[in-house]
Amino acid sequence: MQIAQATGTRLHAWEEDEAIFAPEGHRLDPAEAAQYARLLWDDGVIVDAFRYSNEHHDAIDPARSLYDFFAEKAAHMFTGEAADVARRKRETFLLVASMWGAYIGSPVARQSLKFFWLEECIEGENPFVADTYRKVLDAVARPAVEGAEIRLGAKVTGISSMSGGEHHMCRLETADGSTAVFDEVVVTTPLGWLKRNKAAFEPPLPPRLSQAIDNIGYGTLDKVYITFASAFWQTASTTPQRQTHTGGIDPKGNTPNVTATTAPLHQSPSLHTAETHYPGFTHWLAPTYASRTNVQRWDQNGVDLAALPDKCAHPTILFYIYGACSKHIADLVASSTSDADRDERLLEFFQPYYSRLPNYEASNRACNAKAVLATTWALDEFAGYGSYCNFQVGLERGDEDIEVMRHGMPERGVWLAGEHAAPFVALGTSTGAWWSGEGVAERIAKSYGLQQRSS
């Protein structure tokens, strides 16, 4: 947040409702959608789950999932409704709760209830970056760009620790056969890479560190951007009320701060007496109407980037996909015969969803997609064929595992940093990744007797 403010990076907090499409394809009444949002977020089951995980952590069976908790709570919801209505709403609520998968990169049934408390993050604002991270990255990289030798395209295949007299020494081996020797090595690869490349370390990793790397889960969270000729879902009468708020997404403090892999988190529907624009977030629940392209009925989540402020807005729907759906999209991209074939296949998959947005007409050129981009981390070797650390069912010592990775191997001059080695209050966040690097830097400086310079 401080770096974003210092660099003039635009941040945004939507104050918009959520649009929900039922499995059959029709949009739910906004009042019903708001009811599910309140039950999930506003001092609802998410808060209850955090509270329960914090207070009963030691007694919770490692096999219990967050979905189990949701299902138990849902059984006591809508008791004042007619039996058939209550049953339908309970089923729908659990489908709405599936969106948690887009926060962790894995289905909600994989989220550990025992370690759910590790998903609760820093207090304060948790905004969406309306700009890109470019200015933030430039600021972070500046000291290295100005003072270090940066070798691009050098694939590290081995990290060996050697005895070097008073100080240990580390040798890096690269795919082209070259080597380089350093006093200290900070490994900032994603957790997925560590899981697949433990053999790169010599001597082998200590058993407890190796176990910790195996224990923490790793998801597959991807983004698919689809840009249209215009934001056809917005009209003159439904132009979004773009506001950038400094008071936070949830000024009343009813919503827990969780890792903001999707956005918006949850906005209070009470801020609007009537819907005056299309919502910033759309959730397509377990669709039955895309049986040819989505046999597994993976839910879809989309963010309206046309609702961003000022010059940051553009006619793009950003889809967040996760788990098996991400892997399916990656396979689709990998098997495409050309860029045109890839784009056609991507649009074929997502068309059943964006075609349900207001004002869509297949014959209207304004509704034609101009560009599509999928991140496909499941294809990325250096990302470890996935993205985002998480805490899955079966985990027994997750907090200790994080601490072990955070400690690294200082006795060998090898340190680990990244979202998986962050302080508990910032796991899985860009802030946490930054803090983990700062923490390692401070520990290295201290080991050499260097004191932090006052600013």
Type of residue at 114: K
Phi-psi sector, 413: left (phi>0), alpha (psi -120 to 50), beta: left
**pTM, full prediction:** 0.90
- For residues 109 and 191, give the distance between their C-alpha atoms in angstroms, rounded to a whole number: 21
In the prediction, which pLDDT does 268 show? Answer: 46
What is the token pair recorded at 114? 């025992």
Residues in the chain: 455
Q: How far apart are CA 266 and CA 38, in angstroms?
A: 9
Please say whether the beta carbons of 350 and 223 come within 8 A. Answer: no
Ranges of each domain in the chain: 2-125+218-381, 151-217+396-447
pLDDT of 453: 59
Phi and psi for 250 in degrees, rounded to 5?
-130, 80
Q: Tokens in use for 78?
A: 């809508």
Domains 2-125+218-381 and 151-217+396-447 share a fold: no
Q: State the residue for tokens 């793009």.
A: 316
Which residues in the chain come in under a pLDDT of 70?
15-16, 163-166, 235-257, 259-276, 452-455
SS3 82: coil
Q: DSSP states of 270-318 as a string? A: GG-SS--S--SEEEE-S-SS-TTT-TT---EEEEEGGGS-GGG--SEEE
Report the CATH superfamily, name and number, of domain 151-217+396-447.
FAD/NAD(P)-binding domain (3.50.50.60)
Write down the pLDDT at residue 270.
41
Q: Are 407 and 212 in contact (CB under 8 A)?
A: no
Q: How many CB atoms lie within 10 A of CB 93?
A: 20
Looking at 3.90.660.10, 3.30.200.20, 3.40.50.720, 3.40.50.170, the CATH number of the domain 2-125+218-381 comes to 3.90.660.10
